[in-house]
Chain A
Amino acid sequence: MTALPLPLVEQFQYGLDAPICLTWELTYACNLSCVHCLSSSGRRDPRELTTDECKAVIDELERMQVFYVNIGGGEPTVRPDFWELVDYATAHRVGVKFSTNGVKITPEVARRLAASDYVDVQISLDGATAAVNDAVRGRGSYDTALRAMQHLSDAGFRGFKISVVMTRENVEQLDEFKAIADRYDAQLRITRLRPSGRGADVWDDLHVTAEQQRRLYDWLVAHGENVLTGDSFFHLAGYGDALPGLNLCGAGRVVCLIDPVGDVYACPFAIHENFLAGNVRAPGGFETVWRESALFATLRAPQSGGACASCSAYDACRGGCMAAKFFTGLPLDGPDPECVKGHGAAALAHADRASAPRPALDHSHRLLPLAARKPPAKACDENPLAGVGFPR
């Protein structure tokens, strides 16, 4: 960055007085049922923070000079007070980047968003074609996302983000994703599939193969800073050159998650009691959790490399992603399941996968929402009693 060579990564390893940014999931409610949802969202939780409680959190973030929050969910825009909270945050100089499937991005909303410097929008898309996207995100979700992009583009919103979770099925579409982003004057952001939330159920089938991972790395190196990654591929630094970004696990050090009920976790991919640092409703609020939680103190302490310490790539990848290890049943001081040296695949082969920790919460729809249902094979399957097994 500047010409003064100081080991910044070292500084971040030991944590900052306030996060650089944080992820805030405003609700577990969602109109979709994506198969890899990292927060197992679907139904609202009755304990979700009220409007006033959310504003109190924003006041704290302003005091702590947190530059911006990544708001997600669930689908955050289905909260009736969503726009009120966005306005409140930006009025208090806390920038907002929110993730949405696009369902509420009407032409009118798009024009409003385009007028604000302090709001950024990220549209989720997990396939460059409807077939690939809808298999993961549900029927009709591709059209919804592209309609939202068109509205943003028509409103003159330049540089909104298109956010793609990389899977075995869509990794071959990287150039097509880039073309979609270019078409709407948007910026492509790709992130890693984690075995978190419902992602734990599909990770084995959907995570990229070792060969795909290598091609993904080469593609990212070739595109440099034009493609965002949320630092989510720092484990690929083991291939050689680091990718643009911080290239470290920021969990509890420079980032964290506030979930819809106010629980603070080390990162958005680790919704489990082992990574729960506290709750913003407790005395002292978020600031006390961030500065005084025992869990965060542990994460900010120097880490031993464990089983990875003797590996030549350890200085580059730092053992990879904590959440990816945890939810695949691997020890936290060993290799990442997608270790570029292949140590993760070997470890997975010997791991007791069946007793891997399960995500703590599940707000999945009890019935799949309409968008996620497969069309009936026969007209009579629409009968409300079809498929119900009656005792004889």
Chain B
Amino acid sequence: MSTDLQARPQFDLDTAWALSPQVSIRPERFGALLYHFGTRRLSFLKSPTLLAVVTGLAAHETARDACLGAGVQAAELPRYRAALATLAGSQMIGERS
């Protein structure tokens, strides 16, 4: 559950991403809980919009499209990019080939 900014990898909004098949998502009032059965780590999505972004990743050509599809405004994209980078860093989401 690190929020270490330096440790965050670059995240490419213009490639295709998906939730890891080893991750289970549980919607909550505040967003969702994520659990990765491989790394056995818990993570949180702190807004319903971010949940919509993450669950929409697999259905969109790019992460940017998934964000826009979930109603994220262009000005908010850097914030969502950072959130997705953290999720990628903890293997909750991965790049699709």
Q: Are B83 and A65 in contact (CB under 8 A)?
A: no
Chain A residues near B82 (CB-CB < 8 A): 2-3
Cβ of A377 within 8 Å of any chain B Cβ, yes or no, is: no
Say yes or no: A20-B33 contact (C-beta < 8 A), given A2-B86, A95-B40, A244-B1: yes
**Which residues in window 215-235 of A have CB below 8 A to B?**
225
Asked if A314 lies at the interface with its beta carbon under 8 angstroms from chain B, I say: no
- Using a CB-CB cutoff of 8 Å, which residues 1-41 of chain B contact chain A? 1-3, 22, 24, 26, 28-30, 33, 35, 37-38, 40
Q: How far is the CA of A3 from the CA of B77 in the complex (A)?
A: 11
How many A-B residue pairs have C-beta atoms within 8 angstroms? Tell me: 65
B55 within 8 A of A: no
With both chains docked as a complex, state the minimum distance between the C-beta of B15 and any C-beta of chain A, in angstroms. Answer: 20
> Which of chain B's residues has its CB closest to A66's CB?
B26
| Residues of A1-43 whose CB lies within 8 A of B | 1-6, 8, 11, 16-18, 20
B44 touches A65 (CB 8 A): no
A159–B38 CA distance with the chains assembled, in angstroms = 11
Interface: B67 (CB within 8 A): no
* A65–B43 CB distance below 8 A: no
B42 close to A3 (CB less than 8 A): no
Residues of chain A lying within 8 A (CB to CB) of residue B43: 1
Across-interface contacts of A8 in B (CB, < 8 A): 30, 44, 46
| Per-position 1/0 for A97-138, Cβ under 8 A of B | 100000000000000000001101000000000000000000
Judging by beta carbons under 8 Å apart, are B44 and A67 in contact?
no
B79 A3 Cβ-Cβ under 8 A? yes
Task: Flag if A2 contacts B50 (CB, 8 Å).
Answer: yes
Complex CA gap A120/B35 in Å reads 14
- Rounded to whole Å, the gap between the CB of A233 and the closest CB of chain B is 16
Given A65-B24, A117-B38, A244-B1, is A3 in contact with B33 using a C-beta cutoff of 8 Å? no
Interface size class of B (residues with CB under 8 A): 20 to 34
* C-alpha gap A117/B82 in the complex (Å): 29
Shortest distance between the CB of A277 and any CB in chain B (Å): 21
Name the B residues within 8 Å of A93 (CB-CB): 24
| Majority secondary structure, B binding face | mixed
Which bucket holds chain A's interface residue count? Answer: 20 to 34
A203 part of interface (Cβ distance < 8 Å): no
Q: How far is the CA of A305 from the CA of B31 in the complex (A)?
A: 28
Select from chain B the residue with minimum beta-carbon distance to A90.
B37
Docked complex Cα distance between A4 and B33 (Å):
14
Flag if B29 contacts A11 (CB, 8 Å). Answer: yes
User: Which residue of A1, A11, A67, A118 contacts B86 across the interface (Cβ within 8 Å)?
Assistant: A1
Known contacts A3-B83, A95-B40; A225/B47 CB under 8 A:
no
B9 to chain A, nearest CB (A): 14
Q: Does B87 contact A (CB under 8 A)?
A: yes
Complex Cα gap A348–B66 (Å):
57
Which A residues lie within 8 Å of B40 (CB)?
68, 95, 97, 120, 159
Contact across chains for B35 and A67 when beta carbons are under 8 A apart: yes
Question: Which residues of B lie under 8 Å from residue A95 when comparing CB positions?
Answer: 35, 37, 40
| List of B residues within 8 angstroms of A2 by Cβ | 44-46, 50, 82-83, 86-87
Q: How far is B45's CA from A159's CA once the two chains are assembled, in angstroms?
A: 26
- Chain B residue at smallest Cβ distance from A68: B35
Given known contacts A65-B26, A118-B37, A6 and B46 CB-to-CB distance under 8 angstroms: yes
Given A67-B26, A118-B37, A4-B2 contact (CB < 8 Å): no
Residue of A nearest to B3 (CB): A1
In angstroms, how far is the closest chain A Cβ from the Cβ of B29?
7
| Alpha-carbon gap, A49 to B16, bound state (A) | 47
Which residues of B lie under 8 Å from residue A11 when comparing CB positions? Answer: 28-30
Chain A residues with CB under 8 Å of B24's CB are 65, 67, 93
Specify which chain B residues have a CB less than 8 angstroms from the CB of A159 in the assembled complex. Answer: 40
How far, in angstroms, from A68 to B41 measured CA to CA in the complex? 11
**Chain A interfacial positions (CB closer than 8 Å to B):** 1-6, 8, 11, 16-18, 20, 65, 67-68, 93, 95, 97, 117-118, 120, 159, 225, 244-245
9 interchain pairs, CB-CB under 8 A: A2-B50, A2-B86, A3-B79, A8-B46, A18-B26, A67-B42, A95-B40, A118-B37, A225-B2
